[in-house]
Structure 1
Amino acid sequence: MSTTSRQPLFVPIVYLGGLIFGVGLAISGMARPEVVLDFLQLEDFGLLFVMGGAAAVTGLTFAVATRYFDGAPLTAREYARRLKEFDRNVVVGGAVFGVGWGVSGICPGAAYASVGIGNYPILWAVTGMFLGAYVQGYWRTRRAAGTDDATEPATG
């Protein structure tokens, strides 16, 4: 969908949603790596309630929205499931994400909220996330280019 067919308030509402999300992460403690690490080490289950509450609100919203609205309010796109193949990339990506989350105690969304509450050393983790995403994109592009070259007949 092109940006010209979006509602004029699309971008401001997305920013507002991100702001509310970040404030929620800060208030709940999910923006503090030590709280997340305590949760992952089964020492503090408070974040279980935060995630459960978020899942309940999301589930209820999707149940109501898909039943009573023809399309998404800001984009008018029809509500539909997006299916992704469960392949090796999903497993490897999930494992790398999980290890990174377990080691650092922070995930991308919470990292930005953590910077917002003054945890500036977390910028090292944000830098690492950007670097990792860049390396993965570079590797995937190179691998795709290599498979295209391999399918062409050799000349010579």
Structure 2
Amino acid sequence: MKLIFGYLAGLLFGLGLAIGGMTDPHRVQGFLDVFGNWDPTLIFVMGGAVITTFIGYRLVFRRQGPLFAETFIVPARRDIDTRLLIGAAVFGIGWGLSGYCPGPAFASISGITWPLVALLLSMVVGWWLARRV
């Protein structure tokens, strides 16, 4: 059941990204173009995600435990280190240049393009390197 609900959650997430227009890299780049042809769509998608997460976490943590696991898995680290800062900078640069972050990139696989292939390969290499460092 855990696997089935994981796939359903991923499908819902991808569908939300597609409906919100986040699988279009030009929309994301338009959001980052604050001095040009600015597109505020991303703010509304992010706002909807933040509100949903805020409410969802409060509802979930009222439970004694998760439905399909022994315990909740909550990140314990709260420090800001060099790896985090470098990773965030690389992520931001890649996101700004390509117009994709990982979720929309994978949700866009059905409309594969060469820039998307380059981004996906770069993400895989980045994940591999991050595990080695």
Q: Is the shorter-chain TM-score for this pair beyond 0.5, marking a shared fold?
A: yes
What is aligned with 1:20?
12
CA distance in 2, matches of 1:75, 1:61: 17
State the 1:105 CA deviation.
Answer: 0.8
Residue 71 of structure 1 contacts residue 77 of structure 1 at CA under 8 Å; is this kept in 2? yes
- AA matched with 1:74: F
What is aligned with 1:54?
49
CA distance in 2, matches of 1:125, 1:81: 27
Structure 1, unpaired ranges of 5+: 1-8, 141-156
CA distance in 2, matches of 1:80, 1:105: 29
State the 1:81 CA deviation.
Answer: 5.4
| 2:16 equivalent to 1:31 | no
Higher relative contact order (CA 8 A, sep 6+): 2
- AA matched with 2:55: L
> RMSD between aligned alpha carbons?
1.6
Structure 1, residues 104-145: CA drift from partner, whole Å, max 9, x if none?
A: 1111111011113x133312210111122223333x1xxxxx
CA distance in 1, matches of 2:75, 2:129: 30
Q: Secondary structure at the match of 1:61?
A: helix
| 2:129 equivalent to 1:135 | yes
What is aligned with 1:120?
113
State the 1:14 CA deviation.
Answer: 0.3
CA distance in 2, matches of 1:73, 1:82: 21
Scaled by the length of structure 2, the TM-score of the pair is: 0.88
Residue 37 of structure 1 contacts residue 105 of structure 1 at CA under 8 Å; is this kept in 2? yes
CA distance in 2, matches of 1:108, 1:101: 9
Structure 2, unpaired ranges of 5+: none
Count, aligned residues: 129
Which of these two proteins has the greater Rg computed from alpha carbons? 1
State the 1:63 CA deviation.
Answer: 1.0
Q: Secondary structure at the match of 2:61?
A: helix
